[in-house]
A and B are shown apart, each in its own frame.
Chain A
Amino acid sequence: MTGPAYHLRTNKAADRFALIEAIRRLPRLGVDLEEYTYYGLGGAYLEDIRLLYEYCPEIKMVSIEGSPDIYQRQKFHQPCGTLKLENCDMRSYIGQYEPNDAKSIFWLDYTELRYGCVDDFIALLDKVIAGSMVKITLRADPRDYWNKPADIRRRKAEEFRGEFRLVLPKQSARLPREFGRFAYMVQEMLRIAAQRALSAQTTQLAFQPVSSFYYSDGTWMFTLTGVVWPRNGHGAIERAYRNWEFANLTWGRPRLIDIPDLSTKERLHLQQFLPCGAPRGATLHSELGHLVEEDVPKTEEALEQYAAFHRYFPYFLRGVP
């Protein structure tokens, strides 16, 4: 196993906090969080559930887990008594899910990029009621297609185009090599999937994006969060999310999460200068007085990331069990 344990990955942790913030803004749409049920793929440590319980205890919670072994570990890690654990894979769960006029928050937290995942997203959007939030995370690592010998690269690209032909924005385009561009392509694929699920011809509802990020937690991932909301009600979404630094309400390019490795002492020192105005990276660099990356531009870039996500950056400290 390479990389830190799943629940200790900082970029992923920031993404979880971003979801919490997106959820906490839902009442600005005139809805009550008590109406919601959260459905997540929390893995063995149920980190998302733990956070949600901490910040939004009024939301009912269901964890969905396909593996019987991990399901047993989840029973052990259950962070609160109100959580319902389901030993079932997400696809089957979506198949039998009935919203019954109740609003939902789903996090389709996948580790792969397969059409089946996109298909789950389509099936889910077709079912949830207005006001529901759906977040989907997919693998978006161009190295899966590029860092290969030429013949394998060609075959992989062809297989990709074959598998995703129903949601590809441009069939003729080469697969992007750069992480951000690849993530944007995946976002466009999900946009097409959302249009297929909620066609303007058949429903007044649309999937309205509220945020999208890409980050590495060992492999590169892309994540998109949105709300199923009346097509002509985009103004309400805009009012609810426009002041949020991480809002992406118009299918713009996803935002990078790349939090630098800073010591606790460095973070505590920088804390007093935050939040600060632009250029945040340069300001923090000057306050810190030393490089945290190999040169000044990279240090300022890293500290800009820190400034943006510092509230979402967890402290990992040694504890006494």
Chain B
Amino acid sequence: MDTGKAEKYGSVIASPVKSFFVSMLTRDIKLGDAVLDLLDNCVDGILRSGKKGGGRPYEGFRAEIGFARDSFSISDNCGGIPWRLHDYAFRMGRALDRAPDAPGAVGVYGIGMKRAIFKMGKDCLISTRNGKDQYEVEIPEAWLEKEFEWNLSVREAKGALAEDGTTIVVRNLYPGIAKQFGEDGMAFKTELEDMVSTHYAYIIDKGLEVKINGDPVEPRAARIRFEKPVSKEAPVVRPYIFRTGMDGTEVFLVVGFTRGIPSQSEILDQQESVKYSSVDAGWTVLCNDRAVVYCDRSELTGWGEAGVPRYHTQFIAISGIVEFRSEDPRGLPTTTTKRGIDASAPVYLQVKNKMREGMRIFTDFTNKWKTREEEARDYIKRGAPLSLDEIKAQAGGLPFKPTRKYFPGGEQYRPVLPLPPMLEPTKRRICFTKDVSKIRNVGEYLGDSDMEPSDVGEKCFDTVYEEARK
């Protein structure tokens, strides 16, 4: 071995290059996702504050997002960043041996806030207040340009914020971002509202107030029909429920109907714009209240595999929610952006079997009631639309049975859904297709241009039948 060579070459620099963090890391994330990362920090702040508890644990907390052609800001009252956490909050990445800073948080990698800021612009001011800790950290353009300067100066900021919380203001926006906030601002606001209303649906439902450019965001959380039994024997429409706990991760799964199954005319009508109208159908996956997948209708959530049919408009009424809950976010099957599932995570692969099992009950029901949707709708309508928490509360009174395969510790409730009675031999179904404009004209003639096509057809038949009887 020639030791002289080693001495000649010495060591090489393997420290990170700042421009990698500033330019490359931000390419992996869309602007909307970066903003959601900042919202995640607000939620983690609430958890850290220890004030979370009760049925509406996020009540009283708010986050306000504002953007324009020349700046972006997010301001919250979610507890602020304690000085003891400055190492985590402002460093690029989390040390492996570092435990999560609050039980139930979703932040794992320690890059969200920095990545979001670097995505948007070159000048940032972070002001925070946590009890007696009140300080500001500035990230100026000059800092970004100095390759080997990693320290950021901190200054005291007494009185900058009225309550515990954090305000982040980004200026000197990159041209593309300025366009998204400026010329494309209305479209971006709509997109962001949609993302927040779906991914934060369950958190907003539990009290967090989120505003975007002054407008409050409404949650779009699925509500699943749940009927209380009239008698013990009578079949009722209720969701399939599965729950378990493994390796520190609690799982609660529910799948059922959100609405009546669609009539054949509605299916035809909606096929044209299926991706817009059936937005509530499919699976939503929650990790510590945060929706990481919203209304998915692909193989990712079990559609079209292992005996479950591919998603089709006829299944528009089927919706499921899987909730993963873990004090340590590393136990959650989510991706780094928290906008997706790690489909290869063992915990998810196991739960997916149950997702498919539950889903089959409702696809079978839909198929069995085909051509008699109206009767099926009557059954479904009897159930009240319940939120996830309301279903959890009702689940206490249901006869759960232990699951042996896959989940030794799990238990499930399989509903017994009503079956269609045999069709009376004296009745036959009439089905035909007509132009929408013609149906509307006939509906108008019959007194309501908005009448359902099936009702128009039926009323036409009844009218002619009455005349034929004379």
Q: Which residue of A lies closest to B216 (CB)?
A: A172
- C-alpha gap A144/B215 in the complex (Å): 25
Contacts of A159 in B (CB 8 A): 277
Interface band, chain B: 20 to 34
Cross-interface CB contact of A195 among B176, B184, B276, B435, cutoff 8 Å: B184
Interface segment out of the listed B2-10, B43-51, B187-195, B329-337: B187-195
- Asked whether A200 is an interface residue with its Cβ less than 8 Å from the other chain, the reply is yes
Q: Does B197 contact A (CB under 8 A)?
A: yes
B280 and A162 within 8 A (CB): yes
CB under 8 Å from chain A, chain B span 431-470: 435-437, 441, 444-445, 450
Identity of the chain B residue whose Cβ is nearest the Cβ of A173 in the assembled complex: B215
Taking each of A111, A172, A188, which has the highest tally of chain B beta carbons within 10 Å of its own beta carbon?
A172
B184 touches A199 (CB 8 A): yes
A82 to B296, CA, bound (A): 50
A34 CB–B CB distance under 8 Å:
no
A65 to B244, CA, bound (A): 57
From A116, A119, A168, A201, name the one whose CB has the most chain B CB atoms within 10 angstroms: A201
Contacts of B185 in A (CB 8 A): 195
A116–B272 Cα distance when bound, in Å, is 7
Closest residue of chain A to B180 (Cβ to Cβ) is A201
Q: Give A252 Cβ to nearest chain B Cβ, in Å.
A: 15
Contacts of A201 in B (CB 8 A): 176, 179-180, 184
Question: What residues of B have a CB within 8 angstroms of the CB of A111 in the complex?
Answer: 437
Q: A162-B280, A163-B276, A201-B179 are in contact. Are A169 and B441 (CB under 8 A)?
A: no
CA distance A31 to B182 in the complex (A): 29
Interface size class of A (residues with CB under 8 A): 20 to 34
Cα of A231 to Cα of B179 in the assembled complex, Å:
12
Is B183 at the interface (CB under 8 A from chain A)? yes
Instruction: Assess A144 versus B450: contact at CB under 8 Å? Given A111-B437, A199-B187, A231-B183.
Output: yes
Instruction: From the candidates A1, A170, A195, A231, name the one contacting B187 in the complex (CB within 8 A).
Output: A195
CB distance from B265 to the nearest CB of A (A): 15
Distance in Å: Cβ of B280 to nearest Cβ of chain A: 7
Distance between B242 CB and nearest chain A CB, rounded to angstroms: 28
B residues near A116, Cβ cutoff 8 Å: 272-273, 276
Once the chains are docked, how many angstroms separate the CA of A159 from the CA of B186?
22
- Complex Cα distance A200/B189, Å? 15
B268 at the binding interface (Cβ < 8 Å) = no
In the complex, which residue of chain A has the Cβ closest to the Cβ of B187? A195
Query: Contact partner of B190 among A115, A169, A206, CB < 8 A?
Result: A169
Smallest CB separation, B452 vs chain A (Å):
11
A13 interface hit (Cβ, 8 Å):
no
Interface contact B190-A168, CB-CB below 8 Å: yes
| Mask of A73-112 contacts with B, CB within 8 angstroms, 1/0 | 0000000000000000000000000000000000000011
Docked Cα-Cα span, A188 to B189, in Å, equals 12
For the complex, what is the distance from the CA of A195 to the CA of B193, rounded to whole Å?
16
Q: Is the pair B215, A114 in contact by a Cβ cutoff of 8 Å?
A: no
With A116-B273, A166-B194, A201-B180 known as contacts, the answer to whether A192 contacts B187 (CB < 8 A) is yes
- CB atoms of B445 and A170 under 8 A apart: no
Cβ contacts under 8 Å, B435 to chain A: 67
B277 pairs with A171, CB closer than 8 A: no
Contact assessment for A162 and B217 in the assembled complex, using a CB-CB cutoff below 8 Å: no
Q: Do B444 and A1 have beta carbons less than 8 Å apart?
A: yes
Task: Report A-chain residues with C-beta under 8 Å of the C-beta of B190.
Answer: 165-169, 171, 192
User: Per a CB cutoff under 8 Å, which of B193, B437, B444 touches A171?
Assistant: B193
User: Judging by beta carbons under 8 Å apart, are A114 and B186 in contact?
Assistant: no
Residue A196 interfacial (CB < 8 Å): yes
Q: Does A191 contact B (CB under 8 A)?
A: yes
Chain B residues within 8 Å of A119, by CB = 273, 276
| Residues of chain B lying within 8 A (CB to CB) of residue A165 | 190, 194, 197, 220, 276, 279
Binary interface profile of A, 151-195, with partner B (CB < 8 Å = 1, else 0)?
A: 000000001001111111111110000000000000010011001
Q: A2-B444, A67-B435, A165-B279 are in contact. Are A195 and B183 (CB under 8 A)?
A: yes
* Nearest neighbor of B213 in chain A, beta-carbon distance: A170
Cβ contacts under 8 Å, A192 to chain B:
186-187, 190
A70 to B176 Cα, complex, angstroms: 47
Closest Cβ of chain B: how far from A167's Cβ, in Å?
A: 6
Contact B279 A162 (CB under 8 A): yes
In the assembled complex, the CB of A186 is this many whole angstroms from the nearest CB of chain B, namely 14
| Interface residue? B218 (CB, 8 A) | yes
Known: A67-B435, A172-B215, A172-B216. A163 touches B183 (CB 8 A): no
Chain A residues positioned under 8 Å from B182 (CB to CB): 200
3 shortest interchain CB distances as A-B pairs: A200-B183, A195-B187, A200-B179
What are 18 A-to-B residue pairs whose CB atoms are below 8 Å?
A111-B437, A112-B436, A115-B277, A116-B272, A116-B276, A144-B450, A162-B280, A165-B220, A165-B279, A166-B276, A169-B186, A170-B215, A172-B218, A195-B184, A195-B186, A196-B184, A200-B179, A201-B179
Residues on B facing A (Cβ under 8 Å) = 176, 179-180, 182-187, 189-191, 193-194, 197, 215-218, 220, 272-273, 276-277, 279-280, 435-437, 441, 444-445, 450
Q: Known contacts A114-B272, A162-B280; can you find 4 more A-B pairs with CB under 8 A?
A: A119-B273, A166-B194, A195-B184, A195-B187
